[in-house]
Structure 1
Amino acid sequence: MIKGQYLSGRMLLAMPGMFDPRFERSVNVLCVHDEHGALGINIGEVRQGVRFHEILEELDIAPGVAPDCDVLNGGPVEPGRGFVLHSPDWGGAETIDVVAHDGVLCKLSASMEILRAIAAGQGPSRWVMALGYAGWGPGQLEEEMRQHGWYAAQGSREVLFETRAQGRWVAAWKAEGIDPALLVPETGRA
């Protein structure tokens, strides 16, 4: 990676043989990556035993027209904090653009406002919810990439919004033109 080149808007794919088992087959949408570090939301793993309506009810929000869908395991940092990755057709006061090479990949919201809007049928047209996030300090992600931990794929709206969580890792590799079955868990040394 070239100094000053940041990876916001990309999908960070765990390489086979990932040194941290918490991230095996992980697909993280990199929402922020700059000189201060990085923040990503894992979209490749469902949080077992948690449904969207349960979250709304815990927050005293009537589910209304919201579908009762899976909630994702967004990462090991602040695992009780909710995040919504969504289409750019909705934005609130606490919403940030996740910008990819070809424009806005999605938006990231972490407010009660978006949950109320989804329940009322006035939210974004496409969205996924996750609990927790993955975070890296300054230079940490770059070091993990040098250690064969991650591959930075192009951000894909199709992978994010049209692919089931369990299939996103394979779909993201295939979108890159790579057959993940051919990847090896180790790198060579010259």
Structure 2
Amino acid sequence: MAFSAIMDKKERGFLDGQFLIAMPNLKDGNFVRSVVYICAHSPAGAMGFIINRAQPVSFTELLLHLKMVDQSEAIMLPGATRDFPILSGGPVETGRGFVLHSDDYSSESSIPVSDDISLTATLDIVRAIYDGRGPRRATMMLGYAGWGAGQLEAEIGANAWLNCPASEELIFDRSLDAKYDRALALLGVRPEMLSTDAGHA
């Protein structure tokens, strides 16, 4: 499902603003032990971002690639800018950048995802972060996770995912390795408690 088609929807789906937490039987290499923040869910499909998968590209390399800075300017970037996190958001459109951020930043292209979190997918926010005018909390993803109509519901029915309300703290936390266990803890679940067998009452 195309990003624009999903984000253009007006109604909110029941998974909007939820975390999806991969079950052990989910063997797709893109999603093993992943935590996905769902930004949009409707009968047409769903889209979101993996929030615990590192991306080898640094923010400095991104600025150089976009020709926003040259090599001499890159060396002078403050540490907070150099260390700005870039994650691997999912297997769809991996060359495209998206910034999830607190709602204290807004541009014409910013889309509210929840009461406190927005999504901006234009270069304006990259410039703002570089200039020190960016949002208080933000993380950038390259690519996103997308599902077609009924696909995600079928995966949940097959016991591939758990879901729970998202935590803003966890979305923006930079300790990626701990996010999976911490997301499970939101449900009161420990990894060793998970069964790979689907149970239906």
Per the TM alignment, residue 188 of structure 1 is displaced from its structure 2 partner at its CA by 4.3
What does residue 71 of structure 1 align with?
86
CA contact (8 A) 1:144 1:150 kept: yes
1:142: which partner in 2?
Answer: 153
1:74–1:133 contact (8 Å) kept in structure 2: yes
Contact 2:50 2:89 in 1 (8 A): yes
CA contact (8 A) 1:35 1:139 kept: yes
Deviation at 1:189, TM superposition (A): 6.4
Aligned to 1:88: 103
Task: Tell me, yes or no, if the aligned pair for 1:82 and 1:110 is still in contact at 8 Å.
Answer: yes
User: Normalized against structure 1, the TM-score is what?
Assistant: 0.88
- Post-superposition offset of 1:113: 0.3
TM alignment of 1:153-168, pairs within 5 A? 153-168=164-179
1:31 maps to 2:33:
no
Number of the residue aligned with 1:61: 68
Q: Distance in 2 between matches of 1:11 and 1:33?
A: 12
1:14 to 22, 46, 60: 22
1:103-147 Cα shifts (integer Å, max 9, x gaps)? 33x211111000000000000011111110000011111011001
- Please state whether the residue corresponding to 1:25 is helix, strand or coil: coil
Q: Structure 1 unaligned runs (5+)?
A: none
Identity of aligned residues (%): 40
One-letter identity of the residue aligned with 1:148: N
The Cα offsets for residues 156-181 of structure 1, whole Å up to 9 and x where unpaired, read as 01111235122111111112222222
Distance 1:189 1:87 in 2: 38
Q: Structure 2-normalised TM-score?
A: 0.84
> Match of 1:125, as an amino acid?
R
Quote the Cα distance in structure 2 between the aligned partners of 1:42 and 1:87: 17
Name which of 49, 56, 72 aligns with 1:41. 49
CA–CA distance in structure 1, aligned partners of residues 129 and 200 of structure 2: 50
Q: Which 5+ residue runs of structure 2 have no aligned equivalent?
A: 1-11
Larger radius of gyration: 2
1:22-69, Cα deviation, whole Å (9 max, x unpaired): 20011111111112111111111102x311111111111236542334
User: What SS class does the counterpart of residue 86 from structure 2 fall into?
Assistant: strand
CA distance in 1, matches of 2:84, 2:129: 12
Report the counterpart of residue 116 of structure 1 in structure 2. Answer: 127
More displaced stretch, 180-189 vs 12-21: 180-189
Moved more, 180-189 or 167-176: 180-189
Distance (Å, rounded) in 2 between the aligned partners of 1:25 and 1:148: 14
Q: Secondary structure at the match of 1:83?
A: strand
Count how many residue pairs are aligned between Structure 1 and Structure 2: 182
Q: Which structure's residues are more often strand, by fraction?
A: 1
RMSD: 1.8
How far 1:5 sits from its partner (Å)?
Answer: 4.8
- C-alpha distance in 2 between matches for 1:128 and 1:18: 26
What secondary structure sits across from 1:7 in the alignment?
A: coil
Question: Are the equivalent residues in 2 in contact too, given 1:50–1:70 (CA < 8 A)?
Answer: no
